[in-house]
Structure 1
């Protein structure tokens, strides 16, 4: 029993330090994608050879798919980018599994201690709840780390997604292997390749607005062509060769480092029609987080002073004012606390009042326009 208590204290202290630090680092890496995972794996000769073997196997499988489809191979496969992505995925997997094991060990140890004592509810509140918080933070970190790697390694992400889609085209073209599951797999690969193209346009080459706009135009057009090619495959499965040819052209353009030659200029779409990923409202997120921490600190402080619930009700205005400080510091106010818009009825058209209404016309087809928020005028 004493060993379990000391073990839980040690593992809980470790999780308290490691898990929140990892989550904060995940937010920072998503904001500025500079994550370079897999560097420790690359230093090991054995793991490096395994990475090279996995990359060569993937390339050979893609070459076999092109041979089956009767399509010429790309000039350059980009094995260096595929190797970078394989190292990044294995590094991310190692960190994620380590954090998950840490949180699961904390949960299991707390559950065992709770079962061995008499006051189950008190032990559950003191041990289980922090353990589940560690688990939720770990899941949040895994999602953030995935986004950070896809942004920080977007060129390698595009290459890997393109080669994986070629392998999926092979199974779809083969009469003996084509099933509904292979169709769904090809659909997922095409969607992932489209997502990789948009990430590459936003984070893979340049942060200047002009270059990003041109890349977004090209990548959006290429994504539209891939989706159209997949829809054509759903109508006629033999059209999968045309989809594979488009992917080979994409790999060739990236291999030549000419991303603006993915699609001919006459087939490019406008930037306004490209689905651009919206930036995260970091100051709003920081304001909510600081407001939560401020409110929790006030409650804990009142509890430490021994104040009862009646005093908390009297101090509600002070709590409200203190919680607003983080929003004022970050320059962002939550939507619920903003000034309500002034609603006014829509302006009526004077000419429409004098126009006679046709009898028998369906007036229900023209409902009155809804009220719209009009900003207040400051005279």
Structure 2
């Protein structure tokens, strides 16, 4: 749980926030000693009229840091030998603006407004933050204590509230990528939070489905009904406690996919009460350990929070975590090949009920 919150500015003007579990630290005494260039301007959003979607073009991200040695890790605490992104010599949980953001509020004055009559262009206004879960470079989320997970949940809530209030933000998306197989470029345990300027395609599809369901059922929430049906069936339930349920979706796209949802209808992370925040960690840590035990080695995964949008359709949301891996066997990965990448049509190699049984059987 957060006992002290300290915001500072890095040498290039980006914000960094320390979230301490004890109130004794004075973070202001550790300034950023680096000489950094100014942050890059924000990305472009280009509209694809063929599929009614916006695509971000962020060329500056080509130069982002890629798998540095551990003694040059930008997410470790600073040392006399190396000044990292975190000036302090230690920390509990910390967030800061990404040095190579996909979205930001730094808009160029000569921003292009159109490429053709059908392809408008707009600035990628938003915000991208990095969340470091621990100062221990060699740890990972599954090794955190339930108390630290509670702190992280509080941090996600803090950042969701602040980022949702930024001008032009349509939705806030906390997530974690783990493993080089997924595409991780920094090995230090960390996640990210994107504040998008548009509602993402996946969320748009979910909102359309939820709106149709509400219209047909007199206002019922689609995710609440799906969750209730899964709990009643029990076939794909992995684990549960008083406040959360973890289950394999009946129409899973990924070989091993679990959704973790609060049993109470909650719109976003800030709306979770203290009991729900406390109860999340033990359940989530159990699922992560089951993932690693599947093939007796670290499981690459994406852990993605789906929250209600900030504007129209907000009432249709239902907070839930989607955890999935591209590993389909001990020595095989699922690649998004022709059907998935070109057509957006997923083909799963593992029967969801079999995946659920396998995860349940792990002790």
TM superposition score normalised by structure 2 = 0.25
Larger radius of gyration: 1
Name the structure with the higher strand share.
Answer: 2
Name the structure with the higher helix share.
Answer: 1
TM superposition score normalised by structure 1 = 0.24
